[in-house]
Amino acid sequence: MIGEIWTYVATKPNNGMQKVRPILIIGNDGNNQLQFVDIHYVIISSSADCGIYDVELEDSVAKSIGLAKKSIIKTTKIYTGPRTKMGQKIGELPIDKKTEFIQKYQDYQLDMISKFQI
């Protein structure tokens, strides 16, 4: 499940509207030795701009995964939600894109924590 792309009924934070969208699963409660109820995920967007920590999926890569068109994995948009909102599995990232995601995700986390002062 971790590293897979699924459909998910996400709630938009700005207006509370629900939208089915693709997500990349990056964790679950089991990682924290809890009953597996929630998942941790990042949004995959076909309309957002690509930031320095995001992973771009060119059209051919996106389609090979099962996405309709060129998309961006929004590494900085991390959410937790119930697994009951998961729909269908779309696919998995190719190894090179998993590697890129891991590196950019780590870079983003290090950047965030470096600004956290005691």
- How much of the chain is helix, strand and coil, in % rounded to 5? 30, 40, 30
What is the tens place of the pLDDT at every residue in 85-111? 999 999 999 999 999 999 999 999 999
Please give the domain boundaries of the chain with CATH numbers for all domains: 4-114 (2.30.30.110)
For position 10, what pLDDT does the model report?
85
Say if residues 101 and 73 touch (Cβ distance below 8 Å). Answer: yes
Residues of the chain with pLDDT under 50: none
Q: What angle do CA 24, 25, 28 make, to 5 degrees?
A: 165
Q: Kindly write down the DSSP assignment for every residue of 20-36, as one continuous string.
A: EEEEEEEEEGGGGTS-S
The pTM of this model reads 0.87
